[in-house]
Amino acid sequence: MSTQFEIQGLKSSIEGKEILKGIDLKIGGGEVHAIMGPNGTGKSTLASALMGHPKYEVTDGSVTLNGEDVLEMGVDERARAGLFLAMQYPSEITGVTNADFLRSAINARREEGNEISLIKFVRQMEGKMKELEMNPEFMHRYLNEGFSGGEKKRNEILQMMMLDPKLVILDEIDSGLDIDALRIVAEGVNAMRAEDRGFLIITHYQRLLNYITPDFVHVMMQGRIVKSGGPELAQRLEAEGYDWVKEELGIVDETVGQA
Ligand code: ADP
Ligand code: MG
C-alpha cells in the first residue's frame, strides 16, 4: 500500500505563543518534499509538532498517516506507526550505547515475541554502518556522546535506515556536514526512497538538494508555507536568496514568534 501523509490547517503554539499558523501539506508514497526557509520561520517547530513533542501544543488542524489520526497518538505510537524524525540537534544519552538504543527502538516497533535476534541485529547494523562509512566503534559508544556534528547526523541516518519508517522527516540533516559526509548521507536517503515511504526534508540551503532531488519544494515564512514549486524553486533560492519571495509576497519580517 502506498503511503499517504496529510497535514491540514495545522496550528501549534509554544508556551501560548502561536508559531505554526495553518500548515497544509500532502506527501504521497515515493515523494520527496523539501521545506526551505530562513531561520526562525517555524520549520523545526513543524517537525516537533508532527512528532508529538510535549512542548508544542497543537491548537488546530489534523494530521493523518494512511488515514490514521496521528495527533491522537502518543510519541511512541507515532514512531510505531512509522514516523521518523532526524533531529536538528540530536540528544546525547550517557549510559545507553548506540546499539542498545537502536535495538530497543526496533523492538518497540515489533510485536512481543517477535523481537529481532541479536545476531541479525548486529549484522544489519554493521552493514548499514559500513554503507555510511562509520567507524564500527560507534556501535558501542554512548548515544551521540562526544560525537561531532557530522557523526551525529550520520547516526541519525543510520537510525532511519534501521527503523524502516513510512514517513521520514529530516531537520537540517545537512548542517555541519562536509561535502563527503553530505554525499554519504544523501546516498543513504536516496537508497531509502521507495513507493511506500515519503520524505519531508527541512533545509536552509539548497546544496543537499543537489544530491537528493525533491519532487516538491515549499518555502516557509511566518509559520506558513508561503510558496510551493518544483526543484527549480530551490535553485532560484540558491541563486537569489529569499528576498525576492518576501518582496513578491509583501513580507517584511519572515520570522515568527519573536517577542
Ligand atoms: P526554524 O527551524 O525555522 O529556524 P523554529 O521552529 O526553531 O524555526 O523556531 C520558530 C520560532 O519558535 C522561534 O521564534 C523560536 O524561538 C520559537 N521556538 C521554537 N522552539 C521553541 C521552544 N522550545 N521554546 C520557545 N520558543 C521556541
Ligand atoms: Mg530549525
Q: Is the CB of 41 under 6 A from ligand 1?
A: yes
Q: Is the CB of 42 under 6 A from ligand 1?
A: yes
Q: Output the pLDDT for position 105.
A: 93
- Give the chain as a 3 state SS string: CCCEEEEEEEEEEECCEEEEEEEEEEEECCCEEEEECCCCCCHHHHHHHHHCCCCEEEEEEEEEECCEECCCCCHHHHHHHCEEEECCCCCCEEEEEHHHHHHHHHHHCCCCCCCCCHHHHHHHHHHHHHHCCCCHHHHCCEECCCCCHHHHHHHHHHHHHHHCCCEEEEECCCCCCCHHHHHHHHHHHHHHCCCCCEEEEEECCCHHHHCCCCCEEEEEECCEEEEEECHHHHHHHHHHCCHHHHHHHCCCCCCCCCC
Q: Is the CB of 39 under 6 A from ligand 1?
A: yes
Q: Which atom of ligand 1 is nearest to the CA of 47?
A: 6
Q: Output the pLDDT for position 1.
A: 58
Picking from 12-16, 31-35, 175-179, which range would have the lowest pLDDT averaged per residue?
175-179
What average pLDDT score do residues 165-176 get? 93
Chain segment 121-169, per-residue pLDDT in tens:
999 999 999 999 999 999 999 999 999 988 999 999 999 999 999 999 9
Q: Output the pLDDT for position 194.
A: 96
What average pLDDT score do residues 118-123 get? 96
Q: Output the pLDDT for position 204.
A: 83
Chain segment 22-39, per-residue pLDDT in tens:
999 999 999 999 999 999
Q: Is the CB of 17 under 6 A from ligand 1?
A: no
Q: Is the CB of 45 under 6 A from ligand 1?
A: yes
Site to substitute for ligand 1 among 19, 46, 88, 253, most atoms within 8 A of C-beta: 19
Domains of the chain: 4-93+164-249 (3.40.50.300)
Q: Is the CB of 90 under 6 A from ligand 1?
A: no
What average pLDDT score do residues 171-183 get? 90
CA of 10 from ligand 1 middle (Å) equals 16
Model confidence at 88, pLDDT cuts 50, 70, 90, reads confident
Chain segment 44-65, per-residue pLDDT in tens:
999 999 999 999 999 999 999 9
In the predicted structure, residue 4 carries a pLDDT above the cut 90: yes
Chain segment 183-228, per-residue pLDDT in tens:
999 999 999 999 999 999 999 888 899 999 999 999 999 999 999 9
